[in-house]
Amino acid sequence: MESNPQSYDVLEALQHWGAIVGVCLVFVLVLSVLVSLLVAKGRGPQRVGRQILDGFRDFADLSPRRNWALAMLTFREALRRKALAVFGVFAVLFMFAGWFLANANPRPELQVGVYITFVLTTIGWLILPVLLLLSCWSIPEDMRARSLHTVVTKPARRIEIVLGRMLGFGMLGTLLVLAMGAVSYVWIVRNFPAPAFDKVLAAADGTEYPVAARLTHRVNVRVTDPRSGETTRFEGPDDLHVVQEVAAAFPDIASALSGELAGLRATRPVLLSRVPQYGEIAFLDREGNPSARGVSVGDEWKKRSYVEGGSRSRAIWTFKDLDPRPLGDTLQFDAEFEAFRTHKGEEVTDPGGIQRFRGLLVQFTFLKDLQRQVSDAVASPGGRFESLRRHVREGDFRRAGTELRSLADGIQKRQLNLSDGEHDKLRAGYGRLAKLLEPFRPRPGSPGDRPDGAGAQADATEAWERLPELVEAARGAERAAAARDAAALAAALQRLGGLFESEEDRLQRELVDLRVPYPPFEMTEYSRRDHVVVPRRLPNLAGSRSGVGAQKAVVDLYDELTHGGELRVEVACLDAGQYLGVSQRDLYIRTPDRPFFSGFSKAVAVDWLKLMLVVIFGVTAGCFLKGPVAALLTFTLVLLGNFFHKFMGELVVGIRLPTGEIKRTGPVESAINIVTHSNPQVPLEEGWMKSIVDVIDPVLLKGVEGLLYLVPDLSRYSVADRVANGFDVSWSTGLLPALMTTLAYFIPLLLVGYYSLKLRELEAK
Amino acid sequence: MNGLTSRQRKLVYLGGIATLLIPIIWLGMPAGGPAGASGDGMVGQLAQLRQEYDLGEATLGDVDPSSATMNLVLLGMRGIAANALWQNANEQQKTKEWAKLRATVDSIILLQPHFSQVWDFQGWNLAYNVSAVHDRVEDRWYWIKEGCKFTQKGTERNARSARLYSSIGRVVGWKVGESDEWKTYRQYFLRDPDTQRFANGPDPGIAHVDGEIFTDNYLAARRWYEKGNDVQREHPQQRLDASVVHFRHQPSRAQERSAWALQRDGIFGERTRQAWDEAHRLWTEVYGRESFKTARGEVVLNATEADILRLARQEQVDPEIKRQVIDIFRADTNYDYWRVKFLLESQAETQEAHRLLYQAKRMFREEPGRLSVTLVRRTGKTCDAARDEKLSDREREVLARLCDSDRPVHRDEFASAADLSDETLTKLEEQGLLQTVSEIQVKLEDAMAKYEQFLGQSPLVAEDVDAIEDGLLAVLYWRKAHQLHNRPVPTTGYPLEELWKTKPDYLVGAQRLFLREMQIGK
């Protein structure tokens, strides 16, 4: 399972960063002016202004040569201080790592994660103290030894001294990370070599074909024809493709292949970088109605909720922006569901004569349920909109239009007053309606050349002249609901209702419900991911309720089952009395794997960015504090950022009480709770104690909130788990957040370091 | 300050260190001391004392170099590190990160290698809790083995901890043999589902004990219990979870389970009888004859009159008091019940009763066709009626033929041979002069009669819950055989009637067994 996979919104992050840095700058500026007024009276602000101008000048005059020279000096100084001795510790650790890790678990697919986590943790935590101490002690030590005087008397600016240190230690960190990363990579690959498969397969006539396969993130198979002696190579993203190709090329051993290469499938490589495409999840309850979550089976871990087997309960994943180009003629899913049984289930006997209980049967159904989605979108608030939902479900758009206009009348005449919650649902619902309708717009380009199949739809919708009006009416309703503007909402719904009536035939034709079930499979749990390969041309097993696909025997997955690049997959558990545990990340489309090196190197890069952040903090702290204090401060920040950032966030946000109320407990109240052994969920009794708490705690919590914004969230750098679990580290969820966080601290801390060193009395040791 | 120079001070320090090192080296020499120096009372004295009082780490079991290194490196922070690891393990178990959990558990035991409760708890946790949350039975089996192997490793590090051997016995015997999936587990015990790794054979990690291959999990468990007993005898100071008297009976109980499991698997006859016989031997001749030192003096559970007199004389107490003390321990261990049970079970007649019952129940579940009424048999009135002048000659002749037959006869054959119509048969049955029955009903009644004999042999067995529930279960099958064909269930005159009427409190348990057997078989 992948942790922390949220996509990073750069724009939002920049806004957030700008606000915090801006507030801090204004605060520092105001404080500086006030202090300068106290110290230098009327000339104070002028001096502050001069310093700011000096700062701009220094920044503008930054010299790459001087920076490079200072960075190299720093690097050499670090080497003289025997920083590379850390390699000794590293070597010792790796020499004896086998004592602690080897044979802990004989199953390689379980063991590999432990090894990868070990090396990535080791790299991070071994280099961190070296860089932390060097960067924190560097400038204070130079000041103590007065060697800094020789630098500042040179034509080197203070900002270059700070930047040079950061770059120098950064170079050292880079060297250490690269070397340790390379050793670690070789160590892991040696421990988990790519599985090989060597067999001699006998054809029906007795001819023996040597077959050799090597499994990395791709499958390479070599088949030697004994008659000609020629060796043919086959390569593909997975064994399924390759086996098919081999079977096509050597039909006389095709039957032997099908059985023998089952062994190939059983020996999958463990070092992989899967590239998942995640979707959004929604649930249907046992009656088939939309539900926020599935059933709770009482698991302490709330990650998954459960789909009831043998009922109409479903989990539906919506995969957006599906790009079929790299996927080829198949769509591959990985599923990591969990099972919860209320009875043992069916006992079966394997071909080998071993008895076991059959795994839960899971079935995927591919949906293009436009009618259902439109009905849910237009009637999103429920209640008084239910009859509207029913009319759309029945395909009766004329009555649906009439109902919409009637609702609009009610809103116009204030007979139907909508709550804020209903407005929000309407906004979301009509926004969704617009999105569902938009793909029917004719698009430039010839029909069918769009990879998501919208081209085929474009061909059919070319003549839908009033579609833009429909989309615009839906967008209008969305905007009016967002603005809580009853008149505008009523007008938009009136318009939409009219369009529903006039466009009834077209809507009935276009908004189809197509359901294509895929044969069920027996699920597994935990380490064994279920790998489901779905061909692009799907047999329409059960047919659909309505729509064009109902008559077709074969349906094209990309052209006929996606809508606007969206693919919907409904997951059901077929065993009555059993429950299927699912969470959003449990089902994903598996795009072609990347080499293990890809994920591993990115994880090392993220570790490196974290170390750079520590260097930036350390050098900055050394500019205004003595070595030990700077080291202590930086170490505290690292600790807070790594282990307590989430906790601070919980303190600031508070906990949700069973009543639904949010309760924030501050330090004073917590102290009282500890002394009196009280439950933190129970409010303090009225009295003088509570009065004090009510005054002090909000102030202290504000302080914690401020700290929360200033302390870096180092959990953003935790990608080792993803690599350990066999996933690639994506740019948007792994590298980018780490890079942005490091840069976000680099710029203001460089400023802080520069002004601290500039305004500091260098003689003060 | 004194007038010494820096160099002189350093030399003084060096001299002090050397002076202190001499006695340490002298005292700390190996127990034997240098050649020819042993026996002088001083050389290697510390080592000798350590050996004498079993204080050396090596005496506790194998010393793992990585464990020793870890503990030295942590510089007294072992407790904190162990605590953090325990928290990690709990979190990993909660979030179902099994591989990490296993690695964390391995790290914990590196820090606490001689804390036997850690091995005991984590081995149990892997075998019971972690295995239970897995869906696939193969995965459950894997984690049961992991728990077993983990505790086995614990016995290597803690060679004196008898409780760890007992814990392995519990997993190998009870977890494998008594889980809901026992049937599958016992198959896996013989042939591991990881056929590639174990070449279609058993996993030595669970099926081998000291190099010996076991084909029955309970017998492997017995061996572990015996090893635990040996360790406990050798190191009686080690703490146990149970009293020594209770701890020692585990091998015989494992043997009992082995015999019982054979019956459960449908294996009867000499092999099973011998298994019971062995359980009886272990109980009476090994366990029963062992002398236990208790707070009330020495106790031999299977003591003869001569033993009682000897023990009383040794401890200078009244023989009657010694007899009472032994009786208390016999009652506490349920000694007499098991003795009688093992004895009775080892008899061929008892095996026959179990076999009949097993076959009848199996026939009921698997061959429903035999529930049809196809047989005719005599009743208590048949032979009298055969001489009754009021009946016709033809009827008397038919009844006399039936009276002569010990076993039921086939209904159709009987009717055809006697040239009787269905109406006549029905009329005779209504008069109670003959009885039409199904094959299963006859089979069940034969088994019930045998089982009644078994229960009647000893009041101890007749009061045993399992024995009562098994008897009631047979009656439940028999009653169901009637009900399925809408035939009235006789209220009197059937085997086990007394049990049915006098033990209604046990009916709930028997009904639960009945439902279970009907659902998943046995």
Quick check: A510 pLDDT over 90?
A: no
What pLDDT sits at residue A99? Answer: 58
Nearest residue on chain A to B180, alpha-carbon basis: A344
Q: What's the mean pLDDT in B212-220?
A: 94
Quick check: A190 pLDDT over 80?
A: yes
Answer yes or no: are the C-beta atoms of A574 and A151 closer than 8 Å.
no
| Paired residues of B208 in beta bridges | B213
What pLDDT sits at residue A726? Answer: 86
Q: CA B284, CA B271: separation in Å to the nearest integer?
A: 20
| B194–A contact, CB cutoff 8 A | no
Q: What is the pLDDT of residues A617-639, one digit of tens each?
A: 999 999 999 889 999 999 999 99
What pLDDT sits at residue A575? Answer: 92
What pLDDT sits at residue B72? Answer: 67
Q: Which helix (H) or strand (E) holds A319?
A: strand A314-319
Pairing of strands A537-539, A554-556: antiparallel
Chain B contacts of A110, Cβ < 8 Å?
98-99, 102
What pLDDT sits at residue A136? Answer: 92
Listing DSSP states for A90-120 in one string gives: HHHHHHHHHHHHTTS-S-HHHHHHHHHHHHH
What pLDDT sits at residue B278? Answer: 96
Angstroms from A343 CA to nearest CA on chain B: 10
Q: Which of B103, B137, B520 is facing A356, going by the closest CB pair?
A: B137
Task: Look up residue B475 and give its amino acid.
Answer: V
Query: Is A341 in Cβ contact with B103 (below 8 Å)?
Result: no
Q: What's the mean pLDDT in B366-370?
A: 80
Q: What's the mean pLDDT in A117-134?
A: 86
Query: Is B135 in Cβ contact with A359 (below 8 Å)?
Result: yes
What pLDDT sits at residue B419? Answer: 74
What pLDDT sits at residue B33? Answer: 47
Quick check: A765 pLDDT over 60?
A: no
Q: Which of A105, A300, A341 is facing B94, going by the closest CB pair?
A: A300
What pLDDT sits at residue B206? Answer: 93
What is the value of ipTM here, to two decimals?
0.70
Q: What is the pLDDT of residues A680-737, one digit of tens each?
A: 878 888 888 889 999 999 999 988 888 888 888 888 888 888 898 889 998 888 889 8
Compute CA A678 distance to the chain's CA centroid, rounded to the nearest angstrom.
Answer: 38
Q: What's the mean pLDDT in A12-38?
A: 90
Q: What is the pTM of this model?
A: 0.75
| B129–A contact, CB cutoff 8 A | no
> Considering only A142-156, A389-403, A730-744, B203-217, which range has the smallest mean pLDDT?
A142-156
Q: Which helix (H) or strand (E) holds A224?
A: strand A219-224
Q: What is the pLDDT of residues B420-437, one digit of tens each?
A: 777 877 888 888 888 888
Q: Which helix (H) or strand (E) holds B321?
A: helix B319-332
The residue with tokens 């007993």 is B229
Q: What is the pLDDT of residues B223-238, one digit of tens each?
A: 999 999 999 998 887 7
| B107–A contact, CB cutoff 8 A | yes
Largest CA distance in chain B: 142
What pLDDT sits at residue B425? Answer: 79
Mutation site, A105, A297, A525, A579, interface B, largest B CB count within 10 A = A105
Query: Is A303 in Cβ contact with B69 (below 8 Å)?
Result: no
Largest CA distance in chain A: 105
Write out residues 142-171 of B within 8 Å (CB-CB) of A: 142
Query: Please, what is the angle between helix B98-111 and helix A86-101, to 10°?
Result: 100
What pLDDT sits at residue A545? Answer: 47
Q: Please enumerate in sequence order all residues whose Cβ is within 8 A of that of A342, keeping only pairs 6 or more positions apart, or say none.
A: A577, A578, A579
What pLDDT sits at residue B484? Answer: 82
Q: What's the mean pLDDT in A261-279?
A: 75
Three-state secondary structure of B411-470: HHHHHHHHCCCHHHHHHHHHCCCEEEEEHHHHHHHHHHHHHHHHHHCCHHHHCCHHHHHH
CA–CA–CA angle A520, A525, A528 (5° rounding): 95
Query: Is B65 in Cβ contact with A354 (below 8 Å)?
Result: no
Quick check: A3 pLDDT over 70?
A: no
Q: What is the pLDDT of residues B432-454, one digit of tens each?
A: 888 888 888 888 999 999 999 98
End-to-end, the C-alpha distance of chain B in Å comes to: 91
| Paired residues of A349 in beta bridges | A355
Q: CA A526, CA A523: separation in Å to the nearest integer?
A: 10
Q: Which of A96, A114, A354 is facing B103, going by the closest CB pair?
A: A114
Mutation site, A360, A526, A583, interface B, largest B CB count within 10 A = A526
Name which residue leads in pLDDT, B195 or A498: A498
Angstroms from B510 CA to nearest CA on chain A: 20
Three-state secondary structure of A370-405: HHHHHHHHHCCCCHHHHHHHHHHHCCCHHHHHHHHH
End-to-end, the C-alpha distance of chain A in Å comes to: 52
Report percent pLDDT > 70 for chain A.
87
Nearest residue on chain A to B110, alpha-carbon basis: A100
Q: What's the mean pLDDT in A598-606?
A: 94
Chain A contacts of B522, Cβ < 8 Å?
none
Angstroms from A521 CA to nearest CA on chain B: 14
Torsion of CA A250, A256, A258, A259, to 10 degrees: -160
Query: Is A300 in Cβ contact with B106 (below 8 Å)?
Result: no
Query: Is A357 in Cβ contact with B184 (below 8 Å)?
Result: yes
What pLDDT sits at residue A454? Answer: 45
Q: What's the mean pLDDT in A67-83?
A: 86
Quick check: A98 pLDDT over 80?
A: no
Nearest residue on chain A to B189, alpha-carbon basis: A354
Q: 3-state DSSP call for residue A332?
A: strand
Mean pLDDT over all residues of chain B? 86
What pLDDT sits at residue A200? Answer: 78
Cβ contacts below 8 Å, chain A against chain B, sum to 78
Quick check: A461 pLDDT over 70?
A: no
Nearest CA-CA partner of A161 in A133, A177, A131, A140: A140
Query: Is A525 in Cβ contact with B136 (below 8 Å)?
Result: yes
Chain B contacts of A347, Cβ < 8 Å?
184, 520
Nearest CA-CA partner of A422 in A372, A476, A470, A384: A384
What pLDDT sits at residue B493? Answer: 85
Chain A contacts of B152, Cβ < 8 Å?
none
Q: 3-state DSSP call for residue A555?
A: strand
What pLDDT sits at residue A659? Answer: 73
Mean pLDDT over all residues of chain A? 83
| Paired residues of A332 in beta bridges | A533
What pLDDT sits at residue A6? Answer: 63
Q: Which residues of A touch B (CB under 8 A)?
A: 96, 99-101, 104-107, 110-111, 113-114, 117, 266, 300-301, 303, 338-339, 341, 344, 347, 352, 354-357, 359-360, 523-527
Quick check: A450 pLDDT over 70?
A: no
Q: Please enumerate in sequence order all residues whose Cβ is within 8 A of that of B308, keeping only pairs 6 or more positions apart, or say none.
A: B319, B322, B323, B326
Nearest residue on chain B to A109, alpha-carbon basis: B99
Quick check: A332 pLDDT over 90?
A: no
Q: What is the pLDDT of residues A217-266, one digit of tens each?
A: 777 888 888 888 888 888 876 666 777 777 778 777 666 655 555 555 55
Name which residue leads in pLDDT, B393 or A338: A338
What pLDDT sits at residue B295? Answer: 87
Q: CA B209, CA A28: separation in Å to the nearest integer?
A: 74
Give the model's confidence band at B68: pLDDT under 50 very low, under 70 low, under 90 confident, else very high.
low
Query: Is A111 in Cβ contact with B137 (below 8 Å)?
Result: no
